Chain A
Amino acid sequence: MLKLISKKTFKGGVHPKEFKELTEHKVLEKFPEPDELVIPLSQHSGKDAIPLVKKNDKVKVGTLIAKEDGFISAPIHSPICGTVTSITKTFTFAGIQKSSIILKKDGLDEKDFLPPLDFETVSSEEIISRVKEAGIVGLGGAAFPTYVKLIPPPDKKIDMIILNACECEPYLTRDYRLVVERTEDLIKGLKLIMRASKVQRGIIGIEDNKQEAIELLKEHLVNHSEIELVVLKTKYPQGAEKMLIKAATGREVPPGKLPLDVGVIVQNVGTAISIFDAVVNGIPSIYAYLTVSGLGINEPKNLIVPIGTSIEDVIEYCGGMKENVRRIVIGGPMMGYAQFDLSTPITKAVSGILFLTDEELEVFPETNCLRCGMCVSVCPLNLTPVRLVRLIQNKRFEEAAILNVALCMECGTCAYSCPASIPLVQWLRLGKKWVFQNRFN
């Protein structure tokens, strides 16, 4: 009981069944280069990248094929050696049609990486420009261009970098594997981030269900007194930025503000590894680290996949899927996107592909709202979904806006808990959409 109380966490949240045992001991495997890749120009939040290649152009592994467009955008590099066959529209995993560069493998193995930099002597400016050049985006899910986060506005005093190793979504184990397999590189990645942003203090936040990773980190951190390991209670959504900052530091990010405003930058484990690889090994962001899992796939695995690989290729590599697959999800089961097309390409920030069956997908018929208040007590942002949704259903958007519907991060905790199985998140999205369209303040 004492242990329960003393463990660091946030208020609210839920604990869905983890299913991490399916893949947590599977070593990250390098995926064989597929014959054809579909590289969407939108792999990040912000503006789409601008293609720099045209049909029949030859590219090598690491060749820059699209450049960033403006401040919030990121360049894209080729993950294989081959030829551009076309630039055409395809669907991204979020269900949006975007231009994509189609590449065909030529079987050669020529590399066009960036020059490696020395870990010990690399400067803040060099790290930031490398992160930008390498097209690194946040791999926690939002795919926000990382270099932007590394340059805080001059009036914001940042005193802490938090490395997010929570991985609170069920099934996903790629961050865990990265911590276990590349502990030293990860710590170096964090130190590069700290150097880039000129911050002296680092925190690694990890949930207490990852014991092996915790032990390894403790061992490796002995020589790094500036980095502190903070073990957090296993609870969804512990890995949400605001929740992680609150649990690890006690600071609360005010509504509508950023972690910067409380002096913190949060980076994901995958991002830190990518930064290390980009700086020390000169490898641009051309791989997605992901967990392939769910009871519907024959061989669950953790993979390092070239971006642009299709879901279909991944299924084949993982021994095929079972007959009873009902839903295919990119991301985690709480916030991921259902897929309707197996040719959908994998992009930089994809953290998992899940093949879900009847056994995992509990579906209950929607009933009247019981006003039980479960959604209120689990909402990590302390919103009142029951009331917001009733207002939105009755098109009373302005009142919903006043009750801060725009703060909702769509973590799904409320809908997960709702006994009446009301699609709360969809309703809340509708409310948010109204608020953003009407620029309601």
Chain B
Amino acid sequence: MEEKIKKEFEFTSSPHFHSKYSTGTVMWIVNLSLIPAVISGVIFFGLYQLVIIFTSIFFAILTEAIIQKILKQKITITDGSAFLTGLLLALTLPPNFSLSATAIGAVFAIAIGKQIFGGLGFNIFNPALAGRAFLQAAFPVEITTWTAPNYSVQSVSSATPLAAFKYDKVLTELKPLVVGNIGGCIGETSALAILVGGIFLIAIGIVNYRIPLAMIIGLFLFGGVFHLIDVTKFPPPSFHLFAGGFMLGAFYMATDYVTSPYTPKGMWIFGLGISLFIVIIRLFGGVPEGVMYSILLMNSFVPLINRYTIPKPFGMKE
């Protein structure tokens, strides 16, 4: 008995239980949930896309490690967040995109998009989209050079459905938009593949349903109004929903923990705001696609949104 008394026990404060989710597990589960999107990219655009994805992830992780080493911080590349940034960036690039440009994008995403603000949890803008925006500015031609997909039903198009509509008023049918045998970015063409991963994340409680739902509602609301105003000039909201980067944006980019609001009301405002900008850019902007800019724009409002949407405590009257 004497010995047992001497044994030391952990003396910690409540709660003594913790859920099974840690930063690392959450990030790696999100990475895993992107497998269908990666597969769809390979099916429609060929195995070479894996090389782009690998390059992007490799440089993202390398950049994070080097910066943390230089700043004498704890190296956290195993938490899956740099991996996720690299993966998401690659999925938003056009098929057969230059590897050196991919690497530059990944370095920018981590160095300027994330680490310069202080690393995980402190960045204002979604790092993958920050990298993507940099590439858009630096390589405007390459990043809009599309490859015709395998199993394509349409004879013409290597052009994306959004570009086809914007410049030629050609409305792509819904079925290929959902399946993904259309022109577009590596991981963005198949709405189905992204939905599988996205709904899985919502079901297991990692992603909150509010932002994707708000974005979809907003898209139907704002897109629908314009469609009703002029049916020939403006596409139906269902086209907006499945075309371009909306799905990946709604389920993976806008829901990035760090750069989205943490209050329930804020999430609704954030999602609706993104969709408003998407509709405006797609219908009236100079470029066919607006998901990236819309999310980045709304990212910058997040601190403000959080501040003004703090929920009322339980039982407090309005």
Contact = CB atoms under 8 A, between A and B. Distances in A.
Given A342-B4, A370-B258, A373-B257, A255 B315 contact: yes
B15 A403 contact: no
Contact of B316 (A255, A312, A373): A255
Contacts of A257: 315
B155 interface: no
Contacts of B120: 367-368, 370
Nearest to A19: B17
Interface stretch (A144-152, A203-211, A213-221, A375-383): A375-383
B5 interface: yes
Nearest to B25: A419
B314 A370 contact: no
A5 to B, nearest CB: 15
A371 B23 CA distance: 11
B207 to A, nearest CB: 10
B76 to A, nearest CB: 7
A333 B9 contact: no
Contacts of B142: none
A4 interface: no
B121 interface: yes
A339 B208 CA distance: 37
B19 interface: yes
Interface string A247-264: 000001111010000000
B283 to A, nearest CB: 31
A376 B5 CA distance: 41
Interface stretch (A66-74, A285-293, A357-365): A357-365
Contact of A419 (B14, B22, B119): B22
B14 A337 contact: yes
B232 interface: no
Contacts of B311: 376, 382-384
Interface in A401-422: 403-404, 407, 410, 412-413, 415-421
A98 interface: no
B14 A369 contact: no
A170 to B, nearest CB: 7
Interface in A1-42: 14, 16-17
A252 B122 contact: no
A254 B121 contact: no
A305 interface: no
A329 B16 contact: yes
A338 B10 contact: yes
Nearest to B1: A312
Contacts of B306: 387
Contact of A254 (B10, B20, B257, B315): B315
A255 B4 CA distance: 45
Interface in A184-203: none
A371 B263 CA distance: 10
A426 interface: yes
B10 A327 contact: yes
Contacts of A14: 19
Nearest to A355: B9
A227 B81 CA distance: 54
Contact of B14 (A370, A372, A410): A410
Interface in B274-318: 306, 310-317
Given A340-B9, A371-B257, A382-B314, A327 B262 contact: no
A364 to B, nearest CB: 4
A327 B14 CA distance: 11
B36 interface: no
A377 B264 contact: yes
Contacts of A170: 17
A382 B313 contact: yes
Contacts of A143: none
Contacts of B13: 338, 423, 425-426, 429
A328 interface: yes
Contacts of A328: 9
B258 A371 contact: yes
B16 A327 contact: yes
Given A367-B76, A370-B257, A371-B262, A338 B11 contact: yes
A334 interface: yes
A376 B23 contact: no
A421 B16 contact: no
Given A254-B316, A377-B264, A425 B257 contact: no
Contacts of B175: none
Contacts of A392: none
Nearest to A405: B313
Given A369-B121, A371-B257, A373-B208, A381 B313 contact: yes
A421 B22 contact: yes
26 contacts: A17-B17, A242-B315, A329-B16, A333-B14, A335-B14, A340-B8, A342-B4, A343-B5, A360-B17, A363-B18, A367-B76, A367-B120, A367-B121, A371-B121, A371-B262, A373-B208, A381-B314, A382-B313, A382-B314, A387-B310, A413-B15, A416-B17, A419-B22, A419-B25, A421-B22, A421-B23
Interface of B: 1, 4-5, 8-26, 76, 79, 119-122, 208, 257-258, 260-264, 267, 306, 310-317
Closest 8 CB pairs of A and B: A412-B15, A373-B262, A368-B121, A364-B22, A372-B257, A252-B315, A370-B257, A381-B314
Given A361-B10, A370-B26, 4 more contacts: A255-B314, A387-B310, A419-B23, A425-B13
